[in-house]
C-alpha cells in the first residue's frame, strides 16, 4: 500500500499546481465578470421597450403626432412622459400661444421612464426633424431609483437627443415635487443643474417655483403628481426668458404675456419696446 502511494504521489505536486491554477483562473474570471457587470450603465441609462409593449395606445398617439409633423417645420420638440404629453390638454392655451408659433412637436408618452425615451429616440423615425431647441422633462417615473441613477438616465437622454439632432439646444427641466420626501428630488435636481454648460445644455428650475401649499404644491393637480393648468403657466414663465434668447417668438406673437393668475394668456401693450 505504501509503495503504491509513493508511486502515485510523485504526481502530487503537479496535481496541486494544476488545481491551484484552475482556482486562480476561476477567481479571475469571476472578477472580470463582476467588473463587467459594474461597468454597465444603470437601467435608467439603457434603452428599454417595456413601456412600448405595455402602453401601445400612447405610443401610437406619439407616432400620430410625429406623422402629422411630416413635411412641416419643427423648430422645437418637447421630450418626456405624461407631464409632457398633457401640454396639449392641461397646458393647451399656453402651448397654442407660445409653442405652436415656434412649430413645436409634443413627443411625450405617458408612463415613460428615461430608458423608454432612449428606446424611442433609437426606434422612432425622427430623421425628418431638425429642431433648434429640445425641452426635456423626464425622470418622475424613475422615482424609485437613486438620484444618481435618475440623473444619469436624464443625462443619457440629453446626449442621445444631441446625437439625433446635431446642434440642438437642450433645455433640461428640473423634476417637480412629488412624494413625501423631497430629498431625492432635490439631490437629482442638483445633479441636473451641474450638467448645464449654458452653451448647448441649459437648466430650467421649475421645482423652486412650485412651493408647498397645504398637503399639495402650487401648480400640481389633485393627484399631487401631474401639473395643473397653473403649473404649465409657471413652467412657461420660467422657460420664456431663455427661449426668447435662443428661439424668439415672432413680434406679433410676442405681444402676449403669460398670466400667473387667470390661467389664460392676456394681451400686453403690443407696441411697448423692450426696456420701455
Question: How many helices, marked H, and strands, marked E, lie in the chain?
Answer: 11, 9
How many whole angstroms separate alpha carbon 196 and alpha carbon 134?
14
Q: What is the mean pLDDT of residues 207-213?
A: 96
What total number of domains does the chain contain? 1
Mean pLDDT of 233-252: 92
Q: Which domain holds residue 103?
A: 43-207+235-260
- Domain membership flag for residue 215: no
Q: Is residue 56 situated within a structural domain?
A: yes
pLDDT tens-place string over residues 139-187 = 999 999 999 999 999 999 999 999 999 999 999 999 999 988 999 999 9
7 within some domain: no
Mean pLDDT of all residues in 213-223: 96
Average pLDDT, the chain: 84
- What is the domain-level CATH number for residue 184? 3.40.50.1110
| Residue-level pLDDT at 273 | 28
CA distance 194 to 189: 9
Domain assignment present for residue 147? The answer is yes
Q: Stretch 33-44: mean pLDDT, rounded?
A: 67
What percentage of the chain has pLDDT greater than the value 90? 73
Residue 33 inside a domain? The answer is: no
Query: Does any domain span residue 99?
Result: yes
Output the pLDDT for position 29.
Answer: 47
Position 199 in a domain: yes
Of 16 and 264, which is predicted with more confidence? 16
Alpha-carbon distance of 97 to 103, in angstroms, equals 11
244 domain-assigned: yes
Amino acid at each position: 500500500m505504501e509503495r503504491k502511494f509513493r508511486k502515485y504521489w510523485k504526481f502530487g505536486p503537479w496535481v496541486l499546481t494544476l488545481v491551484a491554477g484552475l482556482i486562480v483562473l476561476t477567481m479571475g474570471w469571476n472578477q472580470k465578470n463582476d467588473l463587467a457587470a459594474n461597468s454597465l450603465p444603470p437601467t435608467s441609462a439603457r434603452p428599454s421597450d417595456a413601456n412600448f409593449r405595455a402602453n401601445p395606445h400612447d405610443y401610437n398617439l406619439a407616432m400620430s403626432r410625429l406623422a402629422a409633423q411630416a413635411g412641416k417645420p419643427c423648430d422645437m420638440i418637447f421630450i418626456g412622459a405624461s407631464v409632457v404629453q398633457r401640454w396639449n390638454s392641461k397646458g393647451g392655451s399656453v402651448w397654442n400661444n407660445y409653442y405652436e408659433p415656434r412649430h413645436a412637436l409634443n413627443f411625450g408618452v405617458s408612463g415613460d421612464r428615461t430608458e423608454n425615451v432612449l428606446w424611442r429616440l433609437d426606434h422612432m423615425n425622427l430623421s425628418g426633424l431638425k429642431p433648434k431647441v429640445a425641452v426635456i422633462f423626464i425622470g418622475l417615473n424613475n422615482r424609485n431609483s437613486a438620484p444618481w441613477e435618475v440623473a444619469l438616465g436624464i443625462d443619457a437622454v440629453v446626449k442621445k437627443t444631441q446625437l439625433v439632432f446635431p446642434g440642438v439646444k437642450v433645455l433640461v427641466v428640473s423634476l417637480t415635487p412629488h412624494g413625501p420626501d423631497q430629498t431625492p428630488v432635490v439631490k437629482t435636481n442638483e445633479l441636473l443643474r451641474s450638467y448645464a454648460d449654458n452653451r448647448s445644455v441649459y437648466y430650467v428650475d421649475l421645482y423652486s417655483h412650485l412651493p408647498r401649499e397645504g398637503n399639495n404644491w402650487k401648480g400640481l393637480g389633485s393627484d399631487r403628481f401631474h401639473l395643473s393648468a397653473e403649473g404649465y403657466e409657471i413652467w412657461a414663465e420660467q422657460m420664456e426668458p431663455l427661449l426668447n434668447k435662443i428661439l424668439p417668438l415672432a413680434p406679433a406673437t410676442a405681444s402676449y404675456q403669460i398670466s400667473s393668475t387667470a390661467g389664460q394668456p392676456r394681451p400686453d401693450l403690443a407696441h411697448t419696446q423692450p426696456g420701455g
